[in-house]
Amino acid sequence: MTAAVHTRWPGILEAYRRFLPITDHTPPLSLCEGNTPLVAAPGLSREIGASVWLKLEGCNPTGSFKDRGMVLAVAKALEEGSQTVICASTGNTSASAAAYAARAGMRAVILIPDGYVALGKLAQARMYGAEILAVRGNFDEALALVREVAQRLPVTVVNSINPYRLEGQQTAAFEVCDALGDAPDMVCIPVGNAGNISAWWRGFVRYHEAGKIRRTPRMFGFEAEGAAAIVRGEPIAKPETFATAIRIGNPASWTLAVEAVESSGGAMDAVTDDEIAEAYLRVAREGVFCEPASAASVAGLLKLARSGRVPPGATVVCVLTGNGLKDPDSAIRLGQATPRVVDCNLAAVETALAGGDA
């Protein structure tokens, strides 16, 4: 039997229309987001004694999972007659908002914490034509400011406090179930503002209610230790981690995230920057380049495995939320991703490969 080589993917609004709040008036916005690869991780699977899968959300059009929620939030903003979207962001939300606003012919205003956004993300937002304000404050302060601005000006907030964002982000859970034929046993997700873990859980519950899956997975969320507000049980005024995407001290979807881990039988835990860095390099050895924050999911899985909390043979999905190319500085710093320079001749190459001075 010959499998179809390629069928056109229409984007999540069309693909999952029956599960999304779409009306006849919702514009058919799409950059073909979704349908991201679910890649087996044989090395990690062997090491842990489980069946480990990586959901490559960095393969979305702007290189992160944010596109799933953003396409719906921007389409609904357009449907409601809004002309401007606004968000606070550690980088990925702003890149995504800028792209979909450009596509929809809307204005995008983004507030980012000055000095704490990875280079690629800044470049993206700029290229898509967003108006960028780098504020002297962290993400939590920028988000508070966005809420204030939205009280006074005619703008649509497209942070995950916009309910359409989480609705759209559920589709990643749908895809995993569609690919595996049922829900996995466990899902490991990095947690920053806590929207994504809440959205995934909602997706599994929705699919279960619709009879698409027989069970729901246990949800495990991982915050960076220096920004682990939920784990500690109190907001952190000055969150710190090199994984800038999740450098958040007062998550907006805190309650929903706690509900997700509790009702699924999972847990919320913290991983150190060292553990994140180790997982970031480890994932690259599987041939997958994710950004540091994304590696928190794998760092968390390794931590669970070390404490004997991964049942043998369990099916585990680690969500790799963003593309490694967004943050070249981290790769250069941690992965020594700078080349060795040699003379352009055979002798120099042979010497270099033999371990000598080139």
> Which CB, 110 or 177, lies closer to ligand F0G?
110
Burial (CB count within 10 angstroms: exposed 0-12, middle 13-18, buried 19+), residue 344: exposed
Question: Within its chain, how far is the Cα of 88 from the centroid?
Answer: 16
Placement of tokens 């309650």 in the chain: 255
| Shortest distance in whole angstroms from residue 82 CB to ligand F0G | 20
Of 254, 245, 324, 342, whose CA–CA distance to 57 is shortest? 324
> Which CB, 193 or 241, lies closer to ligand F0G?
193
Q: What is the tally of helices (H) and strands (E) in the chain? A: 15, 10
Residues of the shown chain interacting with ligand F0G in the complex, contacts defined by CB under 6 A: 64, 66, 89-93, 160, 190-196, 245-246, 291, 293-294, 321-322
| Shortest distance in whole angstroms from residue 300 CB to ligand F0G | 12
> Which CB, 104 or 199, lies closer to ligand F0G?
199
| Shortest distance in whole angstroms from residue 211 CB to ligand F0G | 28
SS3 77: helix
| Shortest distance in whole angstroms from residue 109 CB to ligand F0G | 14
> Which CB, 160 or 315, lies closer to ligand F0G?
160
Tokens of residue 350, six digits = 């042979």
| Shortest distance in whole angstroms from residue 25 CB to ligand F0G | 28
Please state, in angstroms and rounded to a whole number, the distance separating the CA atoms of residues 18 and 287.
35
Ranges of beta strands (E only) in 180-217 are: 186-190
β partners of residue 56 = 320
| Shortest distance in whole angstroms from residue 128 CB to ligand F0G | 14
- 167 contact partners, CB below 8 Å, separation of at least 6: 20, 21, 69, 72, 199
> Which CB, 11 or 57, lies closer to ligand F0G?
57
> Which CB, 20 or 194, lies closer to ligand F0G?
194
**Residue 152 identity (one-letter amino acid):** R
